[in-house]
Amino acid sequence: MGLKALFFIIAAAHSASAGELLRSKRQAPGSIFTVGNGEQCLGSDRSTGGVCLSRNQCNTQGGKAIGFCGVFATCCSLNACDVRTNTKVAVFINPPLSREDSGLECSYNVEINNNNVCQLRIDFETFNLAPPTTVEPVENVTQRPGYTCRNDVFQVSNLQANSDLLPALCGDNNGQHLYVRVNASINSRSIRINFKIADRSTQPNLPQATWKIKVTQLECFNTLGKYRDGILEAITSNLPSTPYTSSADRDEYLIAPPGCLQYYPDRNGAFESFNYNRGAGPYIANLAYATCFKRTPDVCGVKLTSASFEMAYRSEENLYLDTDCQINPVTQGTPQSEDYLFIPESETADGLRGSKFCGSSGLNQIIASTPPGPLYVHFHSDNLVTDDVPESGYRFNYNVLNNCYLKSIYKK
């Protein structure tokens, strides 16, 4: 049997799974050759919405086929709860909102596809839940507990490693994402994604809860390198890139550095606090997490351009930097705000240097961060809100830098 014949036999044997894992760059959404790209679609009635998936993906995720979106794919309605899946990419959509009249708990079990999977990336393509709340104000009391998710709650659980403490989220988080670390080799083989939705019949003023989340299983190389998946990898390793190349090859770009809850691999973009809500906030209490950026060999830092920045502060008589944002525990005394955004080795365009930013210190600023190690920012929020002190959050545009000469950094 010739090499050409052998290749076509292998390609046919793997065509179904490989087609689901990678969409060709030449394939546009809605193409008749669609094999399940996760794009939105319409059912046969041209009014019911769904997600374009292969029939196998749709069935595995407990979905219902409501039409077609190409020769090889089906328009799949995924508005069921208690779904269990182990597909490379899974998409979950909220059930009909009428079911929320008496409250709802909706869970999805994502089982790890294979032992090479090291991370899950959860993208919130749509995420609108009730916002975080605090207790009602009391006369002559200026401080209250922080804003937490008391009505609607999103939570990731069933994590094998206790070192991963993922926050409970709520509010408006459209376009956000988070990473979950897994290790199938030590029986960390599944996670549980849970939405707990408050009773709208008793709280009719709460906004309707809607979500569409995409969960992608990302593979890392193990010690066997590209040959870990067997003969297919060995045969195709020297061929041009095709849908049959290693999943780890394709996933490498998205793999986040250790310790990052969020990761932005592109060289420029934007990031914001959870429940930024177009500047209305508030951000969620008791959070501590890192947002990271890709550092390639040519990158020396990251430039952050503030679009909005409004965090709590202790006193109006300071610069809202460093020790103004975090109190020495020996001298803390009465509770005071310790909300801040940590930006290592940073300097603003007007020469202000600091690492912890709170209050309005990051507002209308261009900040260069040039640390010797990873590129990241660290957000910390306490469990305290003070009357008349806003906690709306922040949004930055970012650009990674390959020239850290200060004059070139701040050039607009």
Q: Is residue 241 part of a domain?
A: no
How many domains does the chain divide into? 3
Q: Is residue 10 part of a domain?
A: no
Which pLDDT score is estimated for 290? Answer: 97
Residues 158 and 72 in one domain: no
CATH number at residue 385: 2.60.120.290
Residues 60 and 107 in one domain: no
Confidence bin at 335 (pLDDT 50/70/90)? confident
Residues 83 and 43 in one domain: no
Residues 86 and 67 in one domain: no
Residues 176 and 295 in one domain: no
**Which pTM value belongs to this model?**
0.80
Q: Is residue 234 part of a domain?
A: no
Q: Is residue 115 part of a domain?
A: yes
Residues 84 and 216 in one domain: yes
Three-state secondary structure readout of the chain: CCHHHHHHHHHHHHHHHHHHHCCCCCCCCCCCCCCCCCCEEECCCCCCEEEEECHHHHHHCCCEEEEECCCCCEEEECCCCCEEECCCEEEEECCCHHHHHHCEEEEEEEECCCCCEEEEEEEEEEEECCCCECCCCCCCCCEECCCECCCCEEEEECCCCCCCCCCCECCECCCCEEEEECEHHHCECEEEEEEEECCCCCCCCCCCCEEEEEEEEEECCCCCHHHCCCHHHHHHCCCCCCCCCCHHHHHHHHCCCCCCCEEECCCEEEEECCCCHHHCCCCCCCCEEEEEECCCCCCCEEEEEEEEEECCCCCCCCCCEHHHCCCCHHHCCCCCCCCEEEEEEEEECCCCEEEEECCCCCCCCEEEECCCCCEEEEEECCCCEECCCCCCEEEEEEEEECCCCHHHHCCC
Domain endpoint, select from 77, 108, 130: 77
Q: Is residue 120 part of a domain?
A: yes
Which pLDDT score is estimated for 21? Answer: 35
| Top-confidence residue, 336 or 275 | 275
Residues 73 and 108 in one domain: no
Mean of pLDDT values over 242-250: 55
Residues 290 and 373 in one domain: yes
Mean of pLDDT values over 136-159: 90
Q: Is residue 260 part of a domain?
A: no
Residues 99 and 216 in one domain: yes
The boundaries of the domain holding residue 167 are 79-220
Domain endpoint, select from 62, 77, 92: 77
Q: Is residue 11 part of a domain?
A: no
Write the pLDDT tens digit of every residue in 166-203: 889 999 999 999 999 988 777 668 899 999 999 988 88
Domain endpoint, select from 153, 187, 220: 220
Residues 98 and 176 in one domain: yes
Residues 210 and 198 in one domain: yes
Which pLDDT score is estimated for 222? Answer: 58
pLDDT at 154 > cutoff 70: yes
Q: Is residue 236 part of a domain?
A: no
